Amino acid sequence: MSTNNHSSRHGRRTLPPCGFKRVLHDLERRYLAPDAQAAVYHYLITEEIPFEVTERAILEAVSLARLKNSTVDAPLLACLVDALLDDCSFEIPGTASERLYPASCTLC
């Protein structure tokens, strides 16, 4: 029986085998519905969507959710991703894509 805790004997941490490197910020988790969070992690793990597009989609989704004081679900997130893939300058009017929260955590 073998278990892998992703750390070495000497306390050095190693990356998980999947290479996953991004954790959603608290505000992102607050404004993204669980199905949208799952979609984000799917995009990040499979790399089917460029990382920059995924990051912009998260930012736009959080901006939109804050404007409507609600959460963004997976279908709406998918629409944002599609809009960004079609036109990288896409931006929800009134949000200016400014940073509304501290940078999310990226693990190396």
Supply the DSSP string of 8-35, one letter for each residue: -TTS-B---TT---EE--HHHHHHB-HH
For the chain, give the mean pLDDT. 77
pTM for this prediction: 0.67
- What does the domain layout of the chain look like in residue ranges? 22-87
Closest CA to 96 of 76, 66, 72: 66
Q: What is the pLDDT of residues 43-72, one digit of tens each?
A: 999 999 999 899 999 999 999 999 999 999
Query: What does the pLDDT look like over 19-51, one tens digit per residue?
Result: 657 899 999 999 999 999 999 999 999 999 999
